[in-house]
Amino acid sequence: MAADNVQGSRFWELGRGYMRMKARPLERALFAYEFEGGPASEVIAALGAYRNEDGGFGRGLEPDIRCRASSVLATTVALQHLALLPKQDGEELIRGALGYLTAVYDPHLPGWEKVPPAVHSAPRAPWWDYRAPGTDWGNPNAEIAGYFKAYEEWAVSSEWVDGLVEQAVRHLNENSTLDEFHELLCYLRMAERVPLAVQARMSGKLGEMVERCTVKEPQGWEGYELQPVGAVPTPQSPYYERFADVLPANLDWLLDRQTEEGAWEPAWSWGRDEDEWAAAREEWKSVITLNNLRILRAYGRG
């Protein structure tokens, strides 16, 4: 199906109905902006509801982290959304987010903790309990380095930004285990925002990481794993050719998992705080459905 015909399909009508009527306000505004010509100002307003006075983001923006306090992880989620908008529209929120990240940078790591101790003030997924940083340093540090490079004019100095980028490249090439897919996604976001010379230094290990982290076998797609459509969400993705043979089946699988409600559901659960998880689950449906509609439109599927 050609991309311009997708919007007449049944899956599209179901998905659009869900996003318009049941999605969280933020994802509803993003859907309107990306698919229906809605204003960027509505996205900014919806995103602002998750912003704190320190410029960081929290308040459940990442549905598995329910505390009001800012976290580095939630702030990277906000920057993912802001990157979709014209820079001038998001300038105030971007500057605030970069200011928050600069303030909480820990030179002893060096880098950032994903979540603060304040995460324990509210229900959360067990994987977001506060703990010491692990081996996946690139999550979220590599992604953050990419944002600072993209918005370098608003950073404390170009030298500091270049140091962040260099640290991220060194970790990828020398220390990463190359088998953690969240870290991979952070490096892919970084690669979109750094100069070609830096991308060239990343390409070898990043290509190996994509191969190791992406599950090609359909029997593995039911669990919480990185699928080909997650590694290459558009045909323009740099690693498209590596997965071209399995992408049609993966896209079929994705279409088959849409519910009659028009949504897609998370492949995980907390295993605790069931009432709060029920609320988070509904929010995740908004996030996942919007992302899947993006993928399916990019591939002209429906």
280 domain residue, yes or no: yes
pTM value? 0.96
For residue 8, give both structure tokens.
Answer: 């007449």
For residue 198, give both structure tokens.
Answer: 């830096």
Q: pLDDT band for position 3 (50/70/90)?
A: very low
Positive/negative CA dihedral, 104, 105, 107, 113 = positive
Amino acid 132: pLDDT = 85
Amino acid 211: pLDDT = 98
265 domain residue, yes or no: yes
215-258 tens-digit pLDDT: 999 999 999 999 999 999 999 999 999 999 999 999 999 999 99
d(CA 211, CA 207): 6
Query: 26 pLDDT exceeds 90?
Result: yes
d(CA 282, CA 212): 31
d(CA 277, CA 271): 8
Amino acid 5: pLDDT = 52
Say if residues 119 and 128 touch (Cβ distance below 8 Å): yes
290 domain residue, yes or no: yes
Q: pLDDT band for position 302 (50/70/90)?
A: low
Q: pLDDT band for position 47 (50/70/90)?
A: very high
Say if residues 168 and 190 touch (Cβ distance below 8 Å): yes
Query: 37 pLDDT exceeds 60?
Result: yes
11 domain residue, yes or no: yes
Amino acid 134: pLDDT = 82
36 domain residue, yes or no: yes
Amino acid 112: pLDDT = 98
228 domain residue, yes or no: no
For residue 35, give both structure tokens.
Answer: 């698919």
d(CA 86, CA 83): 8
Q: Specify the number of domains making up the chain.
A: 1
Query: 22 pLDDT exceeds 70?
Result: yes
Domain coverage including residue 2: 1-40+244-302
Say if residues 257 and 295 touch (Cβ distance below 8 Å): no
48 domain residue, yes or no: no
279 domain residue, yes or no: yes
Query: 2 pLDDT exceeds 60?
Result: no
77-95 tens-digit pLDDT: 999 999 999 999 999 999 9
**In 3-state terms, what secondary structure has residue 251?**
helix
